[in-house]
A and B are shown apart, each in its own frame.
Chain A
């Protein structure tokens, strides 16, 4: 997995609450059997006027000009700012894949849905939870300055704004460690394979029906 240590990038303000994963990447694009190539269909229905199709060339499609990512000053944004309960709904990891493929490295919101939040860390994408007030302040700052960017430092768990405002965020130690070092979860877990085997042997004694599989 790609490591994440620090990032500075242009902020795109998506002023919506309850952004669901269907909105982030609509279902027709879930038919792919690959992990890449979802970026051009990120927020497909908010971004384009027509109904998108898998494997379609997107460059000529009619745009919804008012949508944030279609505005030139946010074209190279890599930090997404949104409202509460971001990433709710379907467990599709295609949502972080699409955000990542588009070029986002950080999503900032007052709260995230659990499954989406978890999926981000598997893909080197950093979801940052800040208070409603801090997020509101960032929305106001970004509205006032073209090219507004934020600096994120994972080690010190801080977000630094051009106004000098500094916001710290919480993150559990394991996720931080994996992200900073770009660690592969599976390899880490397999270091504990003896513990897994011991657990299985004990469980087979106490609950043998779980191992009497007819499959």
Chain B
């Protein structure tokens, strides 16, 4: 038998039917649902008088629209001031009730960002196929699961058939060899990767992340890396299963019971690429070369290390890149600036499906502990990824550290990552954000986003501008 990549194995295990025209029917083990991309799918089911194929193959929670202040949250859906947002959240509740789908609603402590909730509950398991109407579904690939974002028509398709019509991707391996430097995190690794391969570098590929720089990461870190595979153009990001994976899953509410545990673990151990498996493309980075990263422009590939000069349009040779850089410079208001420290920050956001897990909050708290947020900042908020992350952080006293330093401690949700709720940037404001997209107006109309790690966001909150977190903690 020829050597297979992890992606090949997952594909083969879920192949229901290979069709003559090159398309394939792939079985989906878990569909995660949220309020923004599901209403039209449920409506489609109703109109066609179809029932879900397998109700237990779905799990729902509202996240994009939910308010994050405790005052609003105490009132449940009635606390959502925006009537349009409220309708969407209520619609998810009603659809889940109607079809019998398990939902962690706004008043449930298990509510949170879908990509935090699935793994936290053990609903996401190694070897599964996981889909969601959200591009950051690649997150779940950290578990050796085949996971990717889909559109609403496909959400409906999965509800109705528990399958998707797919074409197999090509295989790419991104290897990070060596040991990461202090305060260089998974976020810096994935931003550096995107800086190398570009936002379309992974288009058409499933990317497996490997090497010692990846293997040494916790599950939280691995989720951060896979989360942003889509920002490199790849719908699918993957990391092989090892003991770290298995230890994380054990004992979670939806993890296999004791009587099936050994059998499951035995199967999961095989979820690695075989020795000598063929990759269509291999990219190698040295962990030691990766420094804390900050995006300067309006695409995640417009990223530099903290000590680099901001690249200029006139230095680019490719005409499309030249045009893109010029547009980004103008939008980001960079005229007269040459390094990242020249940018005056208005807000800091620590949260999102990329960086709102307990480990992210711990490192941010460690950086701000005993320090004060710069008085020049308008706001610095910390938004935990789920109710359970919030509870854990409070148990560890992290909330107290944040509030003592002058950061706001919020309720779980997507929040300022895409500003569908009330948390947003004002026109022209610069934000150090631990989220995943720095597109124009992503965090609010005219807002200017700089993507960073939690440690770098925390350091920026204290300094009021970008600074190497290693420099800050020295003093």
Contact = CB atoms under 8 A, between A and B. Distances in A.
Given A35-B40, A91-B133, A174-B19, A215 B102 contact: yes
Contact of A115 (B127, B150, B163, B261): B150
A31 B56 contact: no
A64 B277 CA distance: 53
A23 B440 contact: yes
A84 interface: yes
A114 B152 contact: no
A173 interface: yes
A26 B441 contact: yes
A163 interface: no
Interface residues of A, number: 64
Contacts of A196: 16, 25, 27, 53, 161-163
B151 A91 contact: yes
15 contacts: A23-B440, A27-B418, A31-B420, A51-B445, A88-B199, A89-B439, A115-B149, A115-B150, A173-B21, A189-B157, A195-B16, A196-B27, A208-B263, A209-B125, A209-B260
B56 to A, nearest CB: 4
A89 B153 contact: no
Interface in B17-37: 17, 19, 21-23, 25, 27, 29, 36-37
B24 to A, nearest CB: 9
A57 interface: no
Given A115-B149, A185-B165, A33 B87 contact: yes
Contacts, number: 204
Nearest to B54: A200
Nearest to A208: B260
Nearest to B57: A213
B440 A215 contact: no
Interface of A: 15-18, 20, 22-23, 26-28, 30-35, 45, 51, 54-55, 83-85, 88-93, 96, 111-115, 118-119, 122-123, 172-174, 177, 185-186, 188-190, 192-193, 195-196, 199-200, 203, 206-210, 212-215
B256 interface: yes
B414 to A, nearest CB: 10
B266 to A, nearest CB: 11
A186 B327 CA distance: 42
A18 B301 CA distance: 11
Contacts of B56: 213, 215
Given A26-B441, A89-B135, A113-B200, 11 more contacts: A17-B321, A20-B437, A34-B40, A35-B152, A93-B151, A119-B153, A186-B48, A186-B160, A207-B264, A209-B125, A214-B253
A203 B27 contact: yes
Nearest to B442: A22
B400 to A, nearest CB: 33
B324 A31 contact: no
Interface in B260-304: 260-261, 263-264, 267, 299
Given A115-B149, A172-B21, A195-B16, A92 B203 contact: no
Interface in B196-254: 199-200, 203-204, 230, 233-235, 253-254
Nearest to A195: B17
Interface residues of B, number: 88
Closest 4 CB pairs of A and B: A122-B153, A209-B256, A93-B151, A119-B151
A27 B419 contact: yes
Given A30-B420, A85-B199, A91-B135, A200 B27 contact: yes
Nearest to A52: B445
B337 interface: no
B203 A111 contact: yes
Contacts of A215: 55-56, 58-59, 102, 123, 254
Contacts of A173: 21-23
Contact of B43 (A17, A33, A206, A214): A33
A73 to B, nearest CB: 22
Contacts of B420: 27-28, 30-31
A84 B84 CA distance: 34
A45 B21 contact: no
Contacts of A35: 40, 152
A195 B50 CA distance: 19
B1 interface: no
Contacts of A185: 153, 157, 165
Nearest to B418: A27
B135 A115 contact: yes
Q: Please indicate which of the listed interface residues B134, B148, B157, B446 has the most CB atoms of chain A within 10 Å of its own CB.
A: B157
A212 B261 CA distance: 12
Contacts of B55: 215
Interface string B50-89: 1001111111000011000000000000000010110110
